[in-house]
Each structure stands twice: as structure tokens, then as C-alpha cells.
Amino acid sequence: MSQTNRFVAEKNLLETLDRIARNQSAYSVLYVSLSKLKPKNRHPSFIKIIAKLFDDLVGAAEGMMYILNNGDFVILGKNITESIVSDAVDKLRKGLASDPILTNASISEFARLYNFPHDFAAFYEYIQEQMENAARPDFSNLKYPVEASQMDGVLAHLDAINVPELVKRQSIVRIEGADKFRVMFQEFFVAVKDLSAQYDKNMDLTANKWLFLYLTQALDKKTIASFQAADIKNWPRRISLNLHLSSIFTPEFDMLAEEGLPGHPQIIAEVQMMDIFNRLENYFEAKEKLHAQGNQILIDGLIPETLSLIDIGRLEPDLIKLFWNPMMEFDTDNRELRDIIGHFGSERVILAKCTDDKALRWGISYGIRTFQGPYMDTLETAVIRARCPNAQNCTAADCLKRRRLITGVSRRQCRHTELLEKMLGQTDGN
């Protein structure tokens, strides 16, 4: 992208400021620093939704909105007061309550009011400096992509990594009433950020999608093998694994499915939609194989937009996982989504990445009762700690970390690991 095209909004804003320079006192600017939000809350589609929340303000201020190159936005208008700024931030706090800049910071750190003419020169210079700084390359955190010639070394290093200590688990929980829930199954996975931390910090393992695919296929086998080193005595009756479709056809998976774990839990293979698109025939073959073994298949990582674009009925997965994002709170009456969930079966839909009770309320409003994410982890941890005689000697964060690990020093520091393994409220693995 050329420098000219990158700063269209900034240049238009500066041109407008030049035009009003003789009548500055009639105007003010609300500057909202969306660039300070977590990356997941700065997706371009989120920024557009956030911007719509301020349509009324723009109209009342007889103003204009500019979405800048870094995602921040500027509302230039008349009669913008501190109370209007406070109301604007309250709107965002309701929609993005999990973001630390909105929960822990003062309003002035996120939204600032520039009153003209007093702040005119400072604001003008601030926009100019942003353009100059953005145009200046920053090599301080530059990562280099893995190249094909490096893959032998990357895979050799994978062999040296203690993968069992990277494997985490997270419960999928069904809400059955007020203050009543049960664990349906647990997902076992290795987070990309945890894997990347084992390599050179300047190496980007994900930049080349084909090499990353090759790496994660090898990681699938390591993850399956890691269960042999787990310190878990009370295994769930059902477990799920993030897998490539190709990994379902490996000897390692067959061994796990046939005799790999005590109690022979049912295995739910979680596969990505892109993997299915690339290997549609393999998907149906994998589903048939899993069903023949008494196992299931789950399509992972869906969002409402993609769910409306695919024929989920044709794919016929056993379960699907819909990812929550905070802006979905405002999508309360999506008829198409409601019909898709109803037709597929809301009891087969999991709402994942739930950060707060807003996610639960939204899911329940669409008939969903099964959830996964940090909010559910917090509920689980609270129940475990209420039952633990040693709770006063550790923190909730310690308990959560130990609950999620399958082995390692941190887990073994728990004095009551039997509580870490207890499947809260689970009945018959259903």
C-alpha cells in the first residue's frame, strides 16, 4: 500500500482543520484511541461496528467522523462536552468490558476531548506526528518467517521440546439452571503462543501457512503421544483434540482411539473450516471413520458470518463451535443466525471464547446452553476452591493454571490434585 493511500483520512482531516482555522472556537474534537485495545478488539469489522455506536453523537455534533490509519477515530464537530465523552466511553465499556484499557484506565487514557482554539495547534501537530511516525519503519520487533530450508531444524527442535508440559485443557460447560452447570467434555490443545515461546522470539512460525501446516501436523502426533506422560488419574469420559483432518488417519490417532487412555474416553476431533474446504472428501471419510470408532467430529472456529455462508446441514458435524466476540452483544435479533442454529440444533452448538456473562446471556437468547472460555474457567475455579481445604494457601490464578495443565512442576505443587481432576457435575459423559 502506498503512503498516499495509507493516510487518506488523516489528510482529509488536516484539510478540514485548515478550512475551519478561522473559526476554531466553534469546534472541538473527540479522539478515541482504539489502537490501545487488545488486537482481537481492533479487527477492521469491529472498528466499523464500534463507529456505528457513535452515529448519534456525530449527528448531534453536526460533525464528521474520520477512521485513521491506526484504527483510532476522530469526531470533529460542535458542542462536544466532557459528559458526551463519558457517555461514549460507557458505550464502549459495555461492549468491550474485558479489555483492560476500558476496565482499568481512566477515560482520559482512552478518549480525549480537544477544545478549540486552545488545543487546535496541539491536535494538528499530533495528527501530523502520527503520519510521520507511521511512515517511519520500526524494526525493533521485526520477526522473520520460517523458510523451507529451516524446517528440518524447526522439527528437530520440536523433538527436544517437552510437549506434555505445553498441553492444556479447558472444559466445555453446559448451563442447566441458576448456579447449576456440568462439564460436558474437556478440550486438550497446545496454544500457538506457547509453542512459539519455545523458539527464537524473532522467528514467526505462522507466516508461511504451508510450513506452519507441516509443523502443526507433526505437533498433532506429539500432542497425542503426550497423554502417556500426563499426571491425570481421573480422565474425562469425553475429550476433544484440535487436529488436522490428516492426523485422524495416522497410527498415533488409531492407537489413542483404541487403547490410548484409561477408560477409553470418547474422542471429539475438532477440525478447522479451512482444512475442510481444502480436503472436503477427507472430511467425510474422517467423519465416517470417527463414527465407526464411536467418536465424533466438531467444526471449530466459526463466526456468525461464516456460519451463514456454509451449508452446515450438508457437512453434518456432530457439534459446531461458534466463537464469541464482544461486539456480538449488539447483534440480538439476527433472524438468519437464529434459524441456522435452530435447524442445526442449539444443543449441538458451543459458544466458545466467552469472556463474561454477556456471552452467556447472548448465547442463551439464541437457544445455546453450552459454553467455553475464560468466564467458564472462572466459575470452575470458584467451585474447586470452595471445596479445597488448602484454598487459602494459593491464589485463584494458581488453581486455574494447575487445573489446565496435565503435567509439570506447577501442577504437582497442588496438594489436592484430585479436585483438579474432578469433573464438576458431569453425568455419564453425555
The pLDDT tens digits of the residues spanning 223-240 come to 999 998 889 888 899 999
Which residue type, as a one-letter code, is found at position 391?
A
Residue 378 in domain? yes
Confidence at 137, pLDDT banded by 50, 70, 90: low
Give the DSSP letter string of 313-369: HHH--SEEEEEP-GGGGG----HHHHHHHHHH-GGGEEEES--SHHHHHHHHHTT--
The answer, yes or no, to whether residue 303 has pLDDT greater than 70, is: yes
- The distance in angstroms from the start CA to the end CA of the chain is 52
Report yes or no on 282 lying in a domain.
Answer: yes
Question: Residue 128 above 60 pLDDT?
Answer: yes
Highest mean pLDDT out of 193-202, 235-244, 257-266, 395-404? 235-244
Domain extent for 79: 3-135
Q: According to the model, what pLDDT value does residue 99 have?
A: 55
Cis peptide before 117 (omega within 30 of 0): yes
195 and 244 belong to one structural domain: yes
Choice among 21-35, 146-160, 207-221, 402-416 with the minimum mean pLDDT: 21-35
Instruction: Based on the fold, state whether residues 130 and 152 are members of the same structural domain.
Output: no
Residues 218 and 351 in one domain: yes
**Mean of the per-residue pLDDT values for the chain?**
85
Q: Grade residue 328 by pLDDT with cuts at 50, 70 and 90.
A: confident
Does 426 fall in a domain?
Answer: no
Assess whether pLDDT exceeds 70 at residue 95: no
Cβ atoms of residues 371 and 175 within 8 Å: yes
Q: Do residue 123 and residue 191 come from a single domain? A: no
pLDDT higher than 60, residue 426: no
Cell of 24: 476554531
Per-residue pLDDT band for 427 (boundaries 50, 70, 90) equals very low
Question: Among residues 208, 225, 252, 232, which one has the least CA distance to residue 158?
Answer: 225
The answer on pLDDT for 339 being more than 50 is yes
User: Which CATH number fits the domain that encloses residue 11?
Assistant: 3.30.70
Q: Return d(Cα 385, Cα 378) in angstroms, integer.
A: 10
Predicted local confidence at residue 319, as pLDDT: 97
Assign 4 a pLDDT band (cuts: 50, 70, 90): very low
Phi, psi of 99 (to 5 degrees): -85, 125
The pLDDT tens digits of the residues spanning 173-202 come to 999 877 788 899 999 999 988 999 999 888
Share of the chain above pLDDT 70, in %: 87
- Residues 234, 107 share a domain: no
Quick check: 81 and 126 in contact, CB under 8 A?
A: no
Distance CA 369, CA 345 (A): 11
Tell me which residue of 277, 240, 281 sits closest to 261, measured CA to CA.
Answer: 240
The last residue of one of the domains, among 113, 135, 157, is 135
pTM value surpassing 0.75: no
pLDDT at residue 2, rounded to an integer: 41
**pLDDT on residue 221:** 95
pLDDT band per the 50, 70, 90 thresholds, residue 250 = very high
Total of domains in the chain: 2
Residue 216 located in a structural domain: yes
Phi/psi-derived region of residue 77, left when phi > 0, alpha when psi is between -120 and 50, beta in every other case: beta
Judge whether residue 119 has pLDDT over 60.
Answer: yes
Does one domain contain both 333 and 229? yes
The answer to whether residue 429 is domain-embedded is no
State residue 103's pLDDT score.
52
Does one domain contain both 116 and 237?
no
Range 259-277 average pLDDT: 90
72, 193: one domain: no
Regarding whether 308 and 259 lie in a shared domain, the answer is yes
Please give the pLDDT value at position 428: 38
In a domain, 416, yes or no: yes
CATH of the domain at 219: 3.20.20.450
Are both 29 and 164 inside the same structural domain? Answer: no
**How far is the C-alpha of 375 from the C-alpha of 171, rounded, in Å?**
11
**Any domain includes 377:** yes
Confidence of residue 430 (pLDDT cuts 50, 70, 90): very low
pLDDT for 391 equals: 87
Q: Is residue 3 predicted with pLDDT exceeding 50? A: no
Contact (CB, 8 A) for 300 and 323: no
Non-local (6+) Cβ contacts of 372 within 8 A are 170, 171, 172, 173, 187, 321, 350, 351, 352, 353, 354
pLDDT of residue 268: 98
**pLDDT at res. 96:** 59
Is pLDDT at 345 greater than 90 in this prediction? yes
- The yes-or-no verdict on residue 100 having pLDDT over 60 is no
Q: Which of residues 115, 135, 155 is at a domain's end? A: 135
Cell numbers that stand for 369 in this block: 446452553
Determine the distance from the C-alpha atom of residue 216 to the mean position of all C-alpha atoms in its chain, rounded to a whole number: 19
Name the grid cell of 367: 437457544
143 band by pLDDT with thresholds 50, 70 and 90 = confident
Same domain, 176 and 216: yes
Task: Identify the residue with better confidence: 185 or 88.
Answer: 185
User: Which of 77, 60, 100 is CA-nearest to residue 13?
Assistant: 77
Pair 86, 156 in one domain: no
Query: Which of residues 135, 158, 180 is at a domain's end?
Result: 135
E strand or H helix that includes residue 72: none
Residue 428 covered by a domain: no
The yes-or-no verdict on residue 144 having pLDDT over 60 is yes
Dihedral, 400, 378, 351, 424 alpha carbons, nearest 10? 80
Contacts of 20 (CB under 8 A, 6+ apart): 26, 27, 116
